Amino acid sequence: MAEIRCGIALHTGDIMYGNVGSTQRLDFTVMGTAVNGACRLETLCKVLAVPLIVSEAVALLYIRGRCNHSASTRFEVSVARLRSSPLVRL
């Protein structure tokens, strides 16, 4: 059986979400710069060969104790950048 691999990107920010379209065809979608940033980060998972990438904004929430985390987790700072903000990968 072939191995299934995926990349996950975590980012935080303001978004708009909801149903868009007409009564004949509705789609649920999310829009905003935070969504675009998460999409760019997810693409980098393959480039950097890592399964998970978090943005600097999420890393700062983690460091400030606003996210639940295990004591054994540590961050490595990547050289890649998203609009001049450093990316952090686990």
In a domain, 85, yes or no: yes
Its domain, for residue 38, covers 8-89
**Of residues 38 and 80, more confidently modeled:** 38
In a domain, 83, yes or no: yes
- Residue 80's pLDDT is 45
In a domain, 1, yes or no: no
**Of residues 41 and 73, more confidently modeled:** 41
Residue 48: closest CA among 86, 1, 2, 14? 86
Average pLDDT, the chain: 77
pLDDT tops 80 at residue 68: no
In a domain, 3, yes or no: no
Q: Quick count: other Cβ atoms within 10 Å of Cβ 43?
A: 13
Predicted structure pTM score: 0.65
- Give the chain's domain count: 1
In a domain, 53, yes or no: yes
